[in-house]
């Protein structure tokens, strides 16, 4: 019997010795009301914990998805709402579990955002294309979320 109950049998079990994943997020797709990348990054982080292996999970937001990284005030201004960033708690929870979140520097420049406009813990990289290239060359598996 699997962890999923008797109605689901896993035919291809997977267990890794190491997890090095970078998510490239240029635009958002959703699982219900949650950006799919948050759900997917959470699965990767949880699997690494279950396997008791070293993990390095990086999520790089760029282009039309950059607003996900914004603090409440900047999010409200950018999105013309008064709700605050609805993704902030999920991001901070994943950061607390060891995931790293980054914003593309080219996107930040184009939008007029600085480091102080971001959720604490999110870093700005040179640009998404250079950063993704760097991480892939370091052995990360690139997953594109669009």
In tens, the pLDDT along 34-67 reads 999 999 999 999 999 999 999 999 999 999 999 9
Tens digit of each residue's pLDDT (9 = 90 or more) over 107-120: 999 999 999 999 99
What pLDDT sits at residue 145?
86
How many CA atoms does the CB half-sphere of 100 hold within 13 Å? 14
Check residues 132 and 146 and name the one with the higher pLDDT.
132
For 129, residues 6+ apart whose C-beta sits below 8 A from its C-beta are: none
């Amino acid at each position: 019997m699997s962890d999923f109950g008797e109605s689901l049998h896993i035919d291809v079990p997977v267990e890794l010795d190491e997890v090095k994943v970078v998510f490239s997020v240029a635009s958002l797709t959703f699982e219900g009301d949650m950006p799919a990348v948050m759900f997917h990054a959470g699965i990767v982080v949880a699997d690494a914990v279950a396997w008791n292996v070293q993990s390095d999970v990086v999520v790089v937001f760029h282009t039309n998805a950059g607003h996900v990284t914004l603090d409440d005030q900047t999010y409200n201004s950018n999105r013309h709402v008064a709700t605050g960033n609805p993704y902030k708690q999920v991001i901070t929870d994943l950061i607390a579990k060891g995931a790293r979140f980054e914003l593309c520097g080219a996107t930040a420049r184009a939008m007029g955002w600085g480091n102080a406009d971001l959720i604490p813990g999110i870093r700005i990289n040179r640009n998404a294309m250079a950063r993704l290239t760097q991480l892939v060359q370091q052995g990360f598996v690139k997953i594109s979320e669009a």
